[in-house]
Structure 1
Amino acid sequence: MVPSPPRRRLVLAAVSLACVTAGVAIGAGTASAGTLSGTLYRDPDTAVARWVAANPGDSRTALISSRIASQPATRWLSNFNLSTVQSEVSTFVGAAAGAGQVPALTVYGIPNRDCGGASAGGAPDLTQYQTWVGGIARGLAGRTTLILLEPDSIALQTCLSAGEITARDQALATATRTLKAAGAKVYLDGGHSAWNAAGEQARRLAAAGVADADGFYTNASNFQSTANETAFGRSVLSSLSGSGIAGKRQVIDTSRNGGAAGDWCGDDNTDRRIGRYPTLDTGDANIDAYLWIKPPGEADGCAFPAGSFQPALASSLATGSANPPATTPPATTPPATTPPVTTPPATTPPATTPPPATGSCAATYTTSSSWNGGFQGAVAVKAGSSAINGWSVSWPLASGQSISQVWGGTLSVSGSTVTVRNAAWNGSLQPGAAAEFGFIASGPAGASGLACSA
């Protein structure tokens, strides 16, 4: 997913469980949330698998092969093509069924995806989008498939008007019902623990039809710890239950959350590590799966083209991982592949500002990414040699600039002056400690004249 922040139902006919492999039953048709078990499908024709096969002599190959290529990651349906999507899905899901394994698809084609950022694209309108979703449903043909529906579509809405948000919510609800009727387990975009508050995310999920889905997924393409995501998910579930929506479950993306958190873009960050391996055996009644929604080693769109496989990234993610060598058996029939283009939701990059004077704070701006007509900025706030309890950063907007979204802080604008005050959770800083906030803006990239007060 790009700056997302940049960085996301018909009644199902009952089908009996089938396809027993290695003594574990997997659903051949519908399955209630929390009841699916079995082995996740490992696509043998991923970008990382192709790289490993083509580079047997590379010094990084053994590490990447054993710790990343050996594991199942979701297949992204990100290229809008009405004529081929049904056959692509049918081939992929059919190969998983032949291997006796459970496939997972990330569906990423809603209009105005990523709010026009680096992963912009998708269907030209909502009518054609539903036609595309219908093709996906026909390709499923009643075979149980985990579907992660439209990353960022719910957590990131700043580019949409109230009417457009309503239309998107209706489109997501319709897509959910269509896919559920075809045998899928459908999860909607739940953002992540450092983005929207749990209550707000629950409200958005309810508006988008989560009552008809199996639940929601969090941390897609992001770096938040599993512990943080689990706690966040419980809060979202509690809020949903309070509004009369019960029985939902969470899916967590663990593809890159085994190391440092921070800036959403991991293209050049060597502190990232792969997290726990994908599994349906979570040991938690609230969590249906730990998945690798974002295939490790595929770029976010900052230093490298979004979705492109970069062996240096893969090697960095695999180095120092606590995961043991993988044991997931390979699938048999290589399906057609569509390289994913993902939108990484934003979090908080590490601070680099030297300690300011006693009792004060300092702020440093960095452009995280830019595109035609807009950019994403990050501001590091650092306390001096004394603790502070609350901070604010102000700066003048340049000509043609306007801010559409802020995370990690509270925005106010007076004339051409922008002020961002700390969020409830990052205002108290010990001496030398840092906090971060980020924002999406239109106009020329940059911010100068930052003034920090504590």
Structure 2
Amino acid sequence: MTLSRRKQRLGALAAATLAAATVSTVALTNAGAEEQPADSDAGITQAKVDNPYEGAQVYVNPQWSEQAAAEPGGEAIADQPTGVWLDRISAIEGNDSPTTGGMGVRDHLDEALAQGADAIQFVIYNLPGRDCAALASNGELPADAIDRYKTEYIDPIVEIQSDPAYAGIRIINVIEIDSLPNLVTNVSPRATATPNCDAMKANGNYQDGISYATAELGALPNTYNYLDSGHHGWIGWTNDDPQYDNFHASAAMFGSLIGMNGMTAEHVHGFITNTANYSPLEEPHWEVDQVVGGKPINQNGDVKWVDWNAYNGEIDFSTSFRDELVTNGFNEDIGMLIDTSRNGWGGPDRPAGPSTSTDPVTFVDESRIDQRFNKGNWCNQAGAGLGERPQVAPEAGIDAYVWIKPPGESDGASEPIDNDEGKGFDEMCDPAYEGNIRNGNNMSGARGEMPLSGHWSSDQFAELLANAYPPLS
């Protein structure tokens, strides 16, 4: 790959930066395929490609890489690409957050040029009334601040990403995790409703904000938008009764965005599932409709782990949900991403094979690799491990396995912590919490002694390494 004049000017600085951070650039490649670097020369606009990860060297965030490499055993994964989270307006220019180290959007893009990276992953994450069914990741913008979201948050990001200096980089934007599915599952008249989600459904600012962000970012020639679409343990329920159907209703909710704020299907390159979550790619030892005790598992009301869900893994869910999204107006060539940063579930508690029990409840509990108390548990899950390393096109219709959630960064504080980041205390992050209707009134399964969301936890990082699956060599 030839260096542009801009890269040549940055060469000395880049070498010093990379040496200090011990950062290396890695490529997401097909298994057994020869690496084919993409031309990412600054200022040279590329035609959009079907899969932005194909043949690309993906940016390694030096802040995360340095933290990972400083931990025992962390050097084994410190060269992996992770998402850059823009969770506050101040993150655009850079703030004093321990996980950003003062780097803003332009800083990361300049560093991507210095690395010779072909692609970079940003998380667009600052909706008004953000995460209406949780408190740990609530944001800085109140429910009615849609104008600030557009003018102070999205517009400046668009301005930077549109700079011709970055025209040769494929900019991948993961847009607003944990948002639109909440307007299906956690609103009245459902028993799982929360007042905050009811308020966001009434004011329409989730749809307004996401459609605006998608249209504005998607209009750039080198951007690739992937909208967050939950995970199988959240919206995997298919049912003729609208009160219990999350799957079709969520796809319809996404489809309703087309036409808002000038957003078109062309502005959406794909969708992502399991962002910052723990759902495995598949359960290797059992099928969700397998007959045990004379009845299919997912038609047995006693099996609370499944609870009539049509899916028990992200591969089947994401590929099926992709088809449903196409029927709701999205292009047939959309691709899916799956976040595998913490869904490995390895270690000594991983079952080696299926249970021999004929009792369906016992069979599932002894066979499943996912060790959570409930699929609704999302905060700092004890016993979790790193999942598949980032890779391109692992399955038909799936553009890549990605690490959008940087391993080692907390989901939320395990006890109240005063802060200026707008992040509240959520009981689902308290290991002593006995649950609510949204997690089947189960224990939270969270780790103790955890910092604010997005902050680093050495103990959690060590556990993710120890329980990695595939294991680290």
| TM-score where L is the length of structure 1 | 0.60
The answer on whether the counterparts of 1:107 and 1:150 sit within 8 Å (CA) in structure 2 is yes
- Following TM superposition, by how much is the alpha carbon of 1:322 offset from its aligned partner in structure 2, in angstroms? 3.8
Write the deviation string for residues 10-35 of structure 1: whole angstroms up to 9, x where unpaired: xxxxxxxxx99974115654524435
Q: Secondary structure at the match of 2:232?
A: coil
Counterparts of 2:114 and 2:92, CA distance in 1: 24
Pick closer, same or farther for the CA change 1:103–1:162 going to 2, 3 Å.
Answer: closer
AA aligned opposite 2:82: A
AA aligned opposite 1:88: G
Write the deviation string for residues 64-123 of structure 1: whole angstroms up to 9, x where unpaired: 2213x2311101001223872698111102211232221101111111001161111133
Pick closer, same or farther for the CA change 1:26–1:190 going to 2, 3 Å.
Answer: farther
Tell me the residue number matched to 1:24: 37
Counterparts of 1:76 and 1:299, CA distance in 2: 13
Counterparts of 1:294 and 1:233, CA distance in 2: 18
AA aligned opposite 2:224: K
- Following TM superposition, by how much is the alpha carbon of 1:242 offset from its aligned partner in structure 2, in angstroms? 2.2
Structure 2 residue ranges without an equivalent (≥5):
1-6, 8-24, 28-34, 96-102, 187-196, 236-245, 259-263, 283-312, 346-368, 413-428, 430-447
The answer on whether the counterparts of 2:255 and 2:325 sit within 8 Å (CA) in structure 1 is yes
The answer on whether the counterparts of 2:52 and 2:224 sit within 8 Å (CA) in structure 1 is no
AA aligned opposite 1:258: G
Tell me the residue number matched to 1:44: 62
The 5 A counterparts of 1:176-187 are 176-182=214-220, 183-187=222-226
Tell me the residue number matched to 1:146: 172
AA aligned opposite 1:206: G
The 5 A counterparts of 1:431-442 are none
The answer on whether the counterparts of 1:199 and 1:235 sit within 8 Å (CA) in structure 2 is no
Q: Secondary structure at the match of 1:121?
A: coil
Tell me the residue number matched to 1:248: 334
Tell me the residue number matched to 1:64: 74
Q: Which of 89, 94, 113 is the aligned partner of 2:130?
A: 113
Tell me the residue number matched to 1:78: 87
Aligned length: 297
Q: Which of 382, 388, 403 is the aligned partner of 1:269?
A: 382
The answer on whether the counterparts of 1:189 and 1:205 sit within 8 Å (CA) in structure 2 is no
Counterparts of 1:254 and 1:184, CA distance in 2: 22
- Following TM superposition, by how much is the alpha carbon of 1:269 offset from its aligned partner in structure 2, in angstroms? 0.6
Counterparts of 1:29 and 1:122, CA distance in 2: 35
Counterparts of 1:192 and 1:215, CA distance in 2: 15
Q: Secondary structure at the match of 1:267?
A: coil
Counterparts of 2:234 and 2:149, CA distance in 1: 27
Matched, 1:96 2:96: no
Matched, 1:156 2:172: no
Higher relative contact order by CA 8 Å / sep ≥ 6: 1 or 2? 1
Matched, 1:193 2:235: no
The answer on whether the counterparts of 1:218 and 1:251 sit within 8 Å (CA) in structure 2 is yes
Pick closer, same or farther for the CA change 1:30–1:225 going to 2, 3 Å.
Answer: farther
Structure 1 residue ranges without an equivalent (≥5):
1-18, 54-60, 327-454
Write the deviation string for residues 156-178 of structure 1: whole angstroms up to 9, x where unpaired: 23313475463321221111111
Tell me the residue number matched to 1:334: none
AA aligned opposite 1:107: I
Kindly, what percent of the aligned residue pairs are identical? Answer: 26
Counterparts of 2:92 and 2:120, CA distance in 1: 22
Matched, 1:214 2:269: yes
- Following TM superposition, by how much is the alpha carbon of 1:288 offset from its aligned partner in structure 2, in angstroms? 1.6
Higher helix share: 2
The answer on whether the counterparts of 1:234 and 1:286 sit within 8 Å (CA) in structure 2 is yes
Pick closer, same or farther for the CA change 1:191–1:268 going to 2, 3 Å.
Answer: closer
- Following TM superposition, by how much is the alpha carbon of 1:52 offset from its aligned partner in structure 2, in angstroms? 3.9
Tell me the residue number matched to 2:287: none
